[in-house]
């Protein structure tokens, strides 16, 4: 266990991470750990897990991704949100850390934006925030004409299939780059 949060079941999003104490803005909460895998292995895993869920891959650098389903820690249970209170920071293409971007109150769910380039996985977002984009996409993603309507229809269909909400198939992109000090 770590000093900042616990893992609990959420409503409709599988497991999530909830603060156990006040977390000041700027805190490095946890390192996103997992087995280093090559891009070709990552690609194979994605295909294999596409229909089954439970896959956690984070882009680390040009050569490697991090597979948190092996040698991973609780960082993999932190959910996506369109209005997150954390961000994923890539240090020198070597380590990913989840850091607080605002003060977080005890009991609040920890979230960050997974930063998908395109919603090609059609993975719906259940973050529930006011400005929810409906899909797990990066903050400034622009929907193409008609795309949003199409995705909304799909989202509605998925909502009616409760099992899908618990599936986890996420490929995270790197978000913010910083240098180790």
Under the rule (CB under 5 A), what is the footprint of Zn ion? 82, 125, 127, 132
Q: How far is the CB of 124 from Zn ion (least distance, A)?
A: 9
Q: How far is the CB of 35 from Zn ion (least distance, A)?
A: 29
Q: How far is the CB of 7 from Zn ion (least distance, A)?
A: 20
20, 4 in Cβ contact below 8 A? yes
Beta carbons within 8 Å of 120's beta carbon, 6+ residues apart: none
Helices (H), 107-175: 147-159, 162-165
57, 66 in Cβ contact below 8 A? yes
The residue (of 73 and 166) whose beta carbon lies closer to Zn ion is: 166
Q: Residue 110's closest CA among 132, 74, 88, 79?
A: 79
> What distance in Å separates the CA atoms of residue 120 and residue 135, rounded to the nearest whole number?
10
Q: How far is the CB of 71 from Zn ion (least distance, A)?
A: 29
Q: How far is the CB of 125 from Zn ion (least distance, A)?
A: 3
Strand ranges (DSSP E) for 60-129?
64-67, 79-80, 86-91, 95-100, 109-112
The residue (of 60 and 125) whose beta carbon lies closer to Zn ion is: 125
> What distance in Å separates the CA atoms of residue 82 and residue 132, rounded to the nearest whole number?
5
The residue (of 68 and 125) whose beta carbon lies closer to Zn ion is: 125
The residue (of 94 and 139) whose beta carbon lies closer to Zn ion is: 139
Structure tokens at 125: 């977002």
Q: How far is the CB of 151 from Zn ion (least distance, A)?
A: 12
The residue (of 49 and 138) whose beta carbon lies closer to Zn ion is: 138
The residue (of 64 and 114) whose beta carbon lies closer to Zn ion is: 114
């Amino acid at each position: 266990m770590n000093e900042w949060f616990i893992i609990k079941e959420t409503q409709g999003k599988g497991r999530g991470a909830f603060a156990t104490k006040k977390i000041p803005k700027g805190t490095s909460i946890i390192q996103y750990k997992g087995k280093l895998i090559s891009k070709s292995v990552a690609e194979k895993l994605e295909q294999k897990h596409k229909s089954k869920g439970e896959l956690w891959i984070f882009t680390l650098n040009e050569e490697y991704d991090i597979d948190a389903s092996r040698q991973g820690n609780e960082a993999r249970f932190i959910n996506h949100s369109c209005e997150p209170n954390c961000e994923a920071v890539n240090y020198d293409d070597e380590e990913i850390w989840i850091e607080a971007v605002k003060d977080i109150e005890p009991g609040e769910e920890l979230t960050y934006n997974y930063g998908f380039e395109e919603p090609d996985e059609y993975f719906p977002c259940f973050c529930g925030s006011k400005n929810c984009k409906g899909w797990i996409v990066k903050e400034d993603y622009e929907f193409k004409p008609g795309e949003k309507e199409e995705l909304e229809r799909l989202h509605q269909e998925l909502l009616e299939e409760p099992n899908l909400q618990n599936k986890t198939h996420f490929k995270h992109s790197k978000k913010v780059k910083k240098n180790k000090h």
